Amino acid sequence: MLGWGRKPSRRAQEDERLKVAIKAAHKRTRESYGARRLQPELAADGFVAGRDRIDRLRRELGLRCRQKRKFKATTNSNHNLPVAENLLNQTFAPSGPNEVWVTDIPTSLLAKAALPSRGQGRRNRRLRYG
């Protein structure tokens, strides 16, 4: 109820119902969806609202997406397990053909990959190795 005996407007009442739906969808999507991805989720539940309205209500509720965690290297070099010998010892001068083969795997795979054109979206990019 507002201060002067007026009941909330229809828009304010809809906003309150939408806030409840936004909270539920936010939890259901593991707090990872922003306004763009929440809009179709809410529409599927029967709440049709614009992206900016959803964004405004999320700000009012203090809801934010969880950020991806920073990459953390998990390689442990301090171990007692056997390590392959360095047979080449940085000597890149073979005395004959097919004696030493050296490659950088990611580079060699990318050299064979059919890279996507610039017009394709990020989700459509697939590297084909062959």
Q: What is the 3-state secondary structure (H, E, C) of the chain?
A: CCCCCCCCCHHHHHHHHHHHHHHHHHHHCCCCCCHHHHHHHHHHCCCCCCHHHHHHHHHHHCCCCCCCCCCCCCCCCCCCCCCCCCCCCCCCCCCCCCCCCCCCHHHHHHHHCCCCCCCCCHHHCCCCCC
pLDDT of residue 112: 54
Condensed to tens digits (0 to 9), the pLDDT of residues 61-117 reads 999 999 888 888 777 778 888 877 887 777 777 788 887 777 665 654 555 555 555
Confidence of residue 2 (pLDDT cuts 50, 70, 90): low
Domain boundaries, the chain: 10-61
65 or 119, which is more confident: 65
Is the pLDDT at 21 greater than 60, yes or no?
yes
pTM: 0.53
Query: Residue 60 has what pLDDT?
Result: 97
**pLDDT, tens digit, for every residue of 24-64?**
999 999 999 999 999 999 999 999 999 999 999 999 999 99
